Amino acid sequence: MVEALIGGAIIGLAVSLMLLFNGRVTGISGIVSGALSITKSDFSWRFLFILGLITGGVILRFIHPESFQSLSQNMSYYDYALAGFLVGFGTVLGSGCTSGHGVCGISRLSVRSIIATMVFITFGVISVLIFKAVKGEI
């Protein structure tokens, strides 16, 4: 419980600093899609942001490897690839992701972001139920 509170505070501080110093909300899908676009002139900060996310994950892997143990040992790499594709498709469809809508949008009391986050969570639950039913885990 304490770890979740500390993690939430760090995320809140990070997105606040991004807004303060860069004038942008911290929407990971927008940052990544902008980094992949050849027309964006602000590639450098986007690249460094993504590099920081990856570096943080690598460091966490070494200092706290149990964080990377899968909750479902029955998932294959294809399952993970399908899940990643569906999340990516959903961020395009929803014009943003849980970091942009869920963290930044809700904290700004954006009705659009509150609705988008409710839709994300609802379809996440439905997807897990369907996946577990297909795998015979329910």
Contact yes or no for 116/96 (Cβ under 8 A): yes
Residue 102: its pLDDT value, please? 82
- For residues 84-99, give the mean pLDDT: 79
Span of 23-27, 54-58, 72-76, 128-132 with lowest mean pLDDT: 72-76
pTM score over 0.75: no
| Average pLDDT for the chain | 84
C-alpha distances in Å from residue 57, one per residue of 38, 107, 114: 26, 25, 28
Closest by alpha carbon to 26, among 97, 77, 93? Answer: 97
Tell me how far apart the alpha carbons of residues 87 and 130 are, in angstroms, rounded to a whole number. 15
Query: Residue 12 phi/psi, 5° resolution?
Result: -60, -45
